Amino acid sequence: MKWILPLAILTGFVFVIALSAKGPNPDARPTAEDVAGRTMSPFCPGLTVDECPSSQSADLRNRIAVEIDRGATNEQIDKWLVENYGTAVLGRPKSNIVWMVPAAVTTIAMIALGLGIRKWSGP
Partner 1 sequence: MDIASAGRFLLYAAFAGALMASMLSLLGYRRKNLGAVLSGQRALISSCILTGTCLVLLIVALYIHDFSIGYVVSYTSRSTPKAYTFTALWAGMEGSLLLWASLTAAYATTAVVMQRSRRADLVPVATAVFGSVLAFFLGLLAFSANPFATISPIPIDGKGLTPLLQSPFMAIHPVLLYLGLTGLIVPFGFAVSALVRGRLDPRWFTSTRRWTVLAWSFLTLGIILGGAWAYMELGWGGYWAWDPVENASFLPWLTATAFLHSVMIQERRGMLKVWNVALILATYSLSLFGTFLTRSGLLVSVHTFSESPVGKYLLPLLGFVAVGSFALLGWRYDRLRSDRHLDSVISRESAFMFNNLLFVALAFTVLWGTIYPVLVEATNGSKISVGPPFFNSVFIPTGLALFALSGVGPLVAWRRASTRSLRRQFALPLSMGMITIVSLAISGMRSWAAMFALGLCAFVASATLGEFVSGARAHHGLLNVIRRNKRRYGGYIVHLGVVLIVLGFSGNAFRQSTTTTIKPGMSFKIGDYDILYARARTFSTPEKVVNMAVMKVARNGKDIATLRPQRNFHLAQRTPQSEIGLRTSLVEDLYLVLTRMDRDTTATVRAWVNPLVAWVWIGAFIMSIGMVVILAEREGVPA
Partner 2 sequence: MQSRTRFVIAAGIVVSAIVGLIIWSLTGTGATAYYKTPGELSAAPINPGTRVRVAGKVVAGSVEQLGETTNFTVTDGKGEIAVTTKDVLPDTFGTGVEVVAEGTVTEPGLFTASTVLAKCPSKFKARVASGG
User: Which residues, at least 6 apart from 91, have a Cβ–Cβ distance to it below 8 Å?
Assistant: 38, 39, 40, 48
Q: Does 97 bind partner 2 (CB under 8 A)?
A: yes
Name the DSSP class of 33. Answer: H
Select the residue interacting with partner 1 from 3, 11, 26, 31 (CB under 8 A).
3
The letter for the amino acid at 113 is L
Using CB distances below 5 to 8 A depending on partner kind, what does residue 2 bind out of partner 1, partner 2, none?
Answer: partner 1
Q: Which residues pair with 39 in a beta bridge?
A: 90
Q: Does 50 bind partner 1 (CB under 8 A)?
A: yes
The helix (run of H) or strand (run of E) holding residue 102 is helix 97-120
Find out whether 81 and 90 touch, Cβ atoms under 8 Å. Answer: yes
Q: Does 69 bind partner 1 (CB under 8 A)?
A: no
Q: Does 105 bind partner 2 (CB under 8 A)?
A: yes
Q: Does 23 bind partner 2 (CB under 8 A)?
A: no
Q: Does 101 bind partner 2 (CB under 8 A)?
A: yes
Contact code string over 53-72 relative to partner 2, x by CB under 8 A: xxxx----------------
Find out whether 32 and 42 touch, Cβ atoms under 8 Å. Answer: no
Using CB distances below 5 to 8 A depending on partner kind, what does residue 108 bind out of partner 1, partner 2, none?
Answer: partner 2
